[in-house]
Amino acid sequence: MEKKQYGLGDVVQMKKPHPCGTNEMEIIRMGMDIRIKCVGCKHSVLVPRAKFESKLKKVLRSAEAASEAPTDATE
């Protein structure tokens, strides 16, 4: 199984969209638990790391590698 790379400030897509209809969450805190904020409604939730990883679909935008964003045209 592929290890997903994510970090603080990254915008990620979850397997299930937020109830507001937005499927983009920004990582605003990293730790034992990860706090993510919905880009659409600004609602933030704290989820355990294991749960976050199981629900994470993909990283949409990496804060760190923003300058060299790879074009993912395989989908």
Comparing CA positions, the residue from 23, 30, 29, 28 lying closest to residue 55 is: 23
- With H, G, I as helix, E, B as strand and everything else as coil, classify residue 54: helix
Q: How many residues bind Zn ion (CB under 5 A)?
A: 6
Which of 8, 9, 17, 18 touches Zn ion (CB under 5 A)?
18
- Shortest distance in whole angstroms from residue 34 CB to Zn ion: 16
Our CB check for Zn ion shows the closer of 9 and 17 to be 17
Q: How far is CA 18 from CA 31, 40, 65, in A?
A: 22, 9, 25
Where do contacts with Zn ion occur on this chain (CB under 5 A)?
A: 18, 20, 22, 38, 40-41
